[in-house]
Chain A
Amino acid sequence: MATFILRRLLALIPLLFLISFIVYGLVLIVPGDPSFTLAGGTKADPATIIRIRHELHLDESFLSQYWRWVTHAIQGDLGHPLFNRGTVAENIWQRFPITLSLALGAMVVSFLIGIPAGIVAATRPGSWLDRLMTLGSSTGIAMPDFWVAILLISFFAVSHNILPSLGWVPISESLWGWFEHLILPCVALGLAGGATLARQLRGSLIDVLDQDYIRSARAMGLREREIIGKLALKNAAAAPLTIAGIQFAYLLGGTFIIENIFSMPGLGSYLLTATGSKDLPVIQGGVLVVAIIFVLVNLAVDIGYAYLNPKVQLQ
Chain B
Amino acid sequence: MSDALLTVSGLGIEFAGADGWIQVVEDVGFSIAPGETLGLVGESGSGKTVSALAVMGLIARANGRVSGSIQFDGRELLELGDDEMRRVRGDEIAMIFQEPMTSLNPAFTVGNQIARAVRAHQSVSRASAKARAVEMLDLVGIPDAHRRVDDYPHAFSGGMRQRAMIAMALSCDPKLLIADEPTTALDVTVQAQILDLIRSIQAEFGTAVLFVTHDFGVVADICERVAVMYAGEIVEEAPVHEVFVRPHHPYSEGLLASMPQAARPGERLTVIPGQVPRPGSLPDGCRFHPRCSYAQPVCIAGPVPLTRRIQSGSDAASARCVRESELTLAGAPEISVATSPSAAVGAASAPLLEVRGLRKEFPIVRGFLRRVQGHVHAVDGVDFSIAPGETLGLVGESGSGKSTVARLVLRLIEASGGSVVFTPQAGEAGQDILQLGGRALQRGRREMQIIFQDPYSSLDPRATIANAVGEPLEIHEGLRGKVRDQRSGDLLELVGMGRHMLSRYPYEFSGGQRQRIAVARALALNPRLLVCDEPVSSLDVSTQSQVINLLADLQERLGLAYLFIAHDLSVVRHISHRIAVMYLGRIVEIGPAGDVAHSPTHPYTEALLSAIPVPDPVRQRERKRIVLEGDIPSPTDPPSGCRFHTRCPYAMDVCAVDDPAPFETPNGTTVWCHLHTTGPTLAGDTVLSLPTPVSSGASV
Q: Which residues of A contact B (CB under 8 A)?
A: 3, 6-7, 211-223, 226, 231, 234-235, 308-311, 314
CB B559 to nearest CB in A, in angstroms, measures 43
Are B106 and A213 interface neighbours, CB within 8 A? yes
CB B163 to nearest CB in A, in angstroms, measures 14
Contacts of A309 in B (CB 8 A): 106-107
> Beyond A6-B368, A231-B108, A309-B107, is A219–B90 a contact (Cβ under 8 Å)?
yes
Majority DSSP secondary structure for residues of A touching B = helix
Contacts of B446 in A (CB 8 A): none
Are A219 and B108 interface neighbours, CB within 8 A? no
Interface string of B368-383 (1 = CB under 8 A from A): 1000000000000000
Q: When chains A and B are docked, how far (Å) is the Cα of A217 from the Cα of B103?
A: 9
> Beyond A215-B97, A235-B107, is A220–B102 a contact (Cβ under 8 Å)?
no
Interface string of B80-102 (1 = CB under 8 A from A): 00000011111100110101001
Are A221 and B97 interface neighbours, CB within 8 A? no
CB A94 to nearest CB in B, in angstroms, measures 39
Are A219 and B94 interface neighbours, CB within 8 A? yes
- Among A3, A7, A217, A235, the one with the most B-chain Cβ atoms within 10 Å of its Cβ is A217
Q: Which residues of B contact A (CB under 8 A)?
A: 56, 58, 86-91, 94-95, 97, 99, 102-108, 113, 116-117, 120-121, 152, 154, 165, 168-169, 367-368
B153 to chain A: closest residue by CB? A213
> Beyond A212-B102, A226-B116, is A219–B107 a contact (Cβ under 8 Å)?
no
Are B56 and A213 interface neighbours, CB within 8 A? no
> Beyond A7-B368, A235-B107, is A222–B117 a contact (Cβ under 8 Å)?
yes
> Beyond A213-B102, A213-B106, is A222–B120 a contact (Cβ under 8 Å)?
yes
- Among A6, A216, A218, the one with the most B-chain Cβ atoms within 10 Å of its Cβ is A216
Contacts of B169 in A (CB 8 A): 219-220
The 4 closest A-B pairs by CB, nearest first: A221-B90, A220-B90, A221-B89, A220-B117
A7 to chain B: closest residue by CB? B368
Contacts of B91 in A (CB 8 A): 221
Q: When chains A and B are docked, how far (Å) is the Cα of A3 from the Cα of B367?
A: 8
- Among A216, A220, A223, A314, the one with the most B-chain Cβ atoms within 10 Å of its Cβ is A220
Are B107 and A216 interface neighbours, CB within 8 A? no
Are B168 and A220 interface neighbours, CB within 8 A? yes
Are A212 and B58 interface neighbours, CB within 8 A? no
Are B99 and A310 interface neighbours, CB within 8 A? no
- Among A219, A234, A308, A310, the one with the most B-chain Cβ atoms within 10 Å of its Cβ is A219
Q: When chains A and B are docked, how far (Å) is the Cα of A225 from the Cα of B168?
A: 20
CB B177 to nearest CB in A, in angstroms, measures 11
B88 to chain A: closest residue by CB? A221
Q: When chains A and B are docked, how far (Å) is the Cα of A235 from the Cα of B106?
A: 8
Q: When chains A and B are docked, how far (Å) is the Cα of A275 from the Cα of B475?
A: 56
Are A221 and B86 interface neighbours, CB within 8 A? yes
> Beyond A3-B368, A221-B91, is A216–B104 a contact (Cβ under 8 Å)?
yes
CB A295 to nearest CB in B, in angstroms, measures 20
Are A310 and B154 interface neighbours, CB within 8 A? yes
A315 to chain B: closest residue by CB? B365
Q: When chains A and B are docked, how far (Å) is the Cα of A311 from the Cα of B156?
A: 12
Are A213 and B105 interface neighbours, CB within 8 A? yes
> Beyond A213-B103, A310-B107, is A219–B368 a contact (Cβ under 8 Å)?
no
Are A219 and B106 interface neighbours, CB within 8 A? no
Q: When chains A and B are docked, how far (Å) is the Cα of A265 from the Cα of B520?
A: 71
Are A311 and B97 interface neighbours, CB within 8 A? no
Q: When chains A and B are docked, how far (Å) is the Cα of A308 from the Cα of B108?
A: 9
User: Pick the contact of B89 from A7, A220, A310 — CB < 8 Å?
Assistant: A220
Q: When chains A and B are docked, how far (Å) is the Cα of A215 from the Cα of B152?
A: 18
B367 to chain A: closest residue by CB? A3
> Beyond A219-B94, A220-B117, A311-B152, is A213–B89 a contact (Cβ under 8 Å)?
no
B116 to chain A: closest residue by CB? A222
Q: When chains A and B are docked, how far (Å) is the Cα of A293 from the Cα of B395?
A: 55
Contacts of B106 in A (CB 8 A): 213, 235, 309-311
A307 to chain B: closest residue by CB? B107
Contacts of B105 in A (CB 8 A): 213-214, 216-217, 231, 235
Contacts of A212 in B (CB 8 A): 97, 99, 102-103
User: Pick the contact of A220 from B94, B108, B152 — CB < 8 Å?
Assistant: B94
Q: When chains A and B are docked, how far (Å) is the Cα of A51 from the Cα of B152?
A: 67
Are B99 and A219 interface neighbours, CB within 8 A? no
What are 28 A-B pairs with beta-carbon distances under 8 A?
Answer: A3-B368, A7-B368, A212-B97, A213-B102, A213-B105, A214-B105, A216-B97, A216-B105, A216-B165, A217-B105, A219-B58, A219-B89, A219-B90, A219-B94, A219-B97, A220-B90, A220-B168, A220-B169, A221-B89, A223-B120, A226-B116, A226-B120, A231-B107, A231-B108, A309-B106, A310-B152, A311-B106, A311-B152
